[in-house]
Structure 1
Amino acid sequence: MSYDSEPPTPPTTSAPSSRRFGRGSATVAVAALVPAALAGWLVWQATSGPGDSDQPEVVPGQSQSRSVAPPADAKPSAPTTPPASPSTGAPSPSGTDKDEKPNATGPLAGKVVVVDPGHNPGNFRHTREINKLVNVGTHRKECDTTGTSTNAGYTEASFTLDVSRRLRALLEKQGATVKLVQNEDRPYGPCVDERARIGNEAKADAVVSVHADGSAVGNRGFHVILPALVKGGAADTTKIVGPSRELGTRIAGKFVQATGSAPSNYVGDGTGLDVRKDLGGLNLSTVPKVFVECGNMRDPKDAALLTNEGWRQKAAQGIADGIGSYLER
């Protein structure tokens, strides 16, 4: 993910050294691969629903993602829309105004979920527009970024749309009202401030922004980004820090169960949770919101998962299960 980051730079392909990203951000701690016991801990957390007082301490960090345009030979094709299936239904490839009506009798009936597919497949054609600075509460940052891609040219924007459409289908089947922030129905964006505003205006019970990271080879696993306590200018996350942490913790646990993937070995000190204060999409949110970095597109092993349709369905299922666990608590 390079959702709200420094100006685009080419992806790193060598082992990373300690470095800093942005002003005042913390150095990312590289953690060892998480043992099986941690996965069990996350699953237990997702099932039991810990309160704010008994959450693990997480050292704030920042992922080593990059904003990169697709390789020169990459085709900016539309993301894959998953086929219909008896278990998941068929996500509509239509725009956000034509989302299917939810099942009013499902366990999530009456709940509103906003799904934010990171970036937009058209962003790399509109670099001037997405480089425009917008107010993210405490400072100004780029409207949006291109996102990253695999070495073979599968873009993060295509990945996020595919997983988000699958996620919408799963949530709607449970009765939730689901809104996609963008569904490739606009040429670029929206900007990060508008993405936050869409969730706020929907009075969403939960907002999840779907991403994939662009870090160095050898950096593997998923992580969930939580909002830090930020108060200044138009930003005030005081009311959402606690609920967002619970939402993120439940998603992390269910993601382990559904995908079998381990939490990140390079962000979050092995917890799969990362706290950040520089993301406008979180700083400007007034409703519980998290980002899910499903894996590292620049690592060949993670890329093999992210480009696999069956794994993407599992990723959507894990996120849906986490959201459901949070909303049904």
Structure 2
Amino acid sequence: MRHDESVPPTPRRPVLLAAAAALMCLGLAGCGGDGGTAQARPGPSATGTVTPSADPAPPSPSRSPTPSRTSASPSAPPSKPPAAPSGPLSGRTVVIDPGHNPANHLHTAEINRQVEIGTGHKECDTTGTSTNGGYAEAAFNLDVAHRLRTLLRAQGATVILTYDGDREFGPCVDERARIGNKAHADAVVSIHADGSAVGNRGFHVILPASVRGGGADTSKIVAPSRDLGTRIAGLFVRSTGSSPSNYVGGNTGLDVRKDLGGLNLSTVPKVFIECGNMRDPKDAALLTSPGWRQKAAQGIADGISSFLKG
């Protein structure tokens, strides 16, 4: 859903970016530092041939994983990640934030608690959306996060997840931001899928707006976050064949928002990615495919790697 603590989507002011830079971005192994963007091409996604992932099979689309009842307390920090092999991203830290939690719906009182987000107050967290077939967004988010972690670790990055099935609910959106801040992350990506109307298709990357107040100050992260998001958008297109959103961002694949605590409270470069619309049958067919999820993780990994390598 549009996200992380948001209400149902409404189209927002388009982000104006150069289409020529997008084409260059898609044709290269990584986007340059000139602010290239995703190719603006509305219409059905071209999925191509999916390749089954070598990772363990994700949960069945008909149900979501249930965290262990021996989970850490809601305020417990993420466990220390294992050492990564040496590689081009050695010495870099990436925080992956899988949106929501499969068990949030069992803890409505806790996730409805209001927290400060810089521009006001919002719920601690929300339940997220699901496909019409019952595949929960939270399960999708965690599955893609695991695949992304594997890809980044193979390049030598230290990877931290904001949660990994080890909590009964949450974390709250303000804590998700603090985890990236405390890790001094070089990049943070929050994984999501949207819950919009049928016919609304495609992905979009959400960038932080300029926000100052209530403990939030994004002045130092707006520019690098845009660079990170632009690279992810372009390389997500190349990896998945999906088109930028036809209902958010003016077909650029990018959207700027100031109502998300996870972005407002971040002090390190951070973006959200809405990988598709779970409520559209065509997008849902992609999101429930393990092969497509692997492609999605690869596109995000490529974007992060391009950003970190400069």
Q: What TM-score bracket applies, with the shorter chain setting the length? A: 0.7 to 0.9
Name the aligned partner's letter for residue 236 of structure 1: D
Question: Do residues 102 (structure 1) and 84 (structure 2) align?
Answer: yes
Match of 1:269 in 2: 250
Q: Distance in 2 between matches of 1:30 and 1:244?
A: 17
Structure 1 residue 3 corresponds to structure 2 residue 11:
no
> How far is 1:41 from its partner?
4.8
Whichever residue aligns with residue 243 of structure 2, its letter is A
Once the 2 structures are TM-superposed, how far is the Cα of residue 98 of structure 1 from its aligned partner?
A: 5.7
Residue 323, structure 1, aligned to residue 307, structure 2: no
In the other structure, the counterpart of 2:267 is: 286
Report the counterpart of residue 158 of structure 1 in structure 2: 139
Measured in 2, the distance between the counterparts of 1:287 and 1:30 equals: 24
- Which of 206, 223, 230 pairs up with 1:249? 230
CA distance in 2, matches of 1:76, 1:259: 24
1:127 corresponding residue in structure 2: 108
Per the alignment, residue 65 of structure 2 pairs with: 77
Deviation beyond 6 Å, 4+ runs, structure 1: 36-39
Identical aligned residues as a percent: 66
Shift of 1:128: 0.7
- Per the normalisation by structure 1, the TM-score is 0.78
**Segment drifting more, 42-51 vs 219-228:** 42-51
Alignment of 1:231 with 2:231, yes or no, is no
Match of 1:137 among 99, 118, 130: 118
* 2:250 match: secondary structure: coil
Letter in 2 for 1:307: T
Q: In structure 2, do the counterparts of structure 1 residues 179 and 273 end up closer, same or farther at CA, with 3 Å as the change threshold? A: same
Structure-to-structure mapping, 1:294-309, within 5 angstroms: 294-309=275-290
Long gaps (5+) in structure 1: 10-19, 22-26, 57-73, 80-94
Q: Aligned with 1:269: secondary structure? A: helix
CA contact (8 A) 1:200 1:285 kept: yes
Q: Is the 8 A contact 1:42 1:249 kept in 2?
A: no
Q: Does the alignment pair 1:185 with 2:166?
A: yes
Measure how far apart 1:97 and its partner are: 1.7
- 1:311 aligned partner: 292
What TM-score results when the alignment is normalised by the length of structure 2? 0.83
Distance change (3 Å), C-alpha of 1:304 and 1:327: same
- How do 1:3-152 residues align onto structure 2 when only pairs under 5 Å count? 3-6=4-7, 27-28=11-12, 40-43=23-26, 47-51=30-34, 75-78=63-66, 96-97=78-79, 99-103=81-85, 105-152=86-133
| Deviation per residue, 1:257-300 (Å, 9 max, x gap) | 11011110110001000000000000000000000100000000
Residues 247 and 309 from structure 1, CA distance in 2 versus in 1: closer, same or farther, beyond 3 angstroms? same
Q: Which amino acid aligns with 1:100?
A: P
Structure 2 stretches of 5 or more lacking a match?
A: 39-61, 68-76
AA aligned to 1:196 is A
Aligned residue among 118, 139, 157 for 1:176:
157
C-alpha separation in 2, matches of 1:213 and 1:256: 17
Q: What RMSD, in angstroms, separates the aligned Cα atoms of the two structures?
A: 2.6
Distance 1:176 1:75 in 2: 31
Correspondence for 2:58 = none
CA distance in 2, matches of 1:149, 1:266: 19
Query: Residue 65 of structure 2 aligns to which amino acid in structure 1?
Result: S
One-letter amino acid matched to 1:206: A
Secondary structure of 1:3 counterpart: coil
- Give the Cα separation in 1 of the matches to 2:82 and 2:20: 40
Preserved CA contact (<8 Å) 1:45 1:250: no
Matched residues, number: 275
| Counterparts of 2:28 and 2:211, CA distance in 1 | 25
Per-residue Cα deviation, 1:53-100 (whole angstroms, up to 9, x for no partner): x889xxxxxxxxxxxxxxxxx644359xxxxxxxxxxxxxxx942633
Q: Does the 8 Å contact 1:46/1:249 carry over to 2?
A: no
2:142 is paired with a residue of what secondary structure? helix
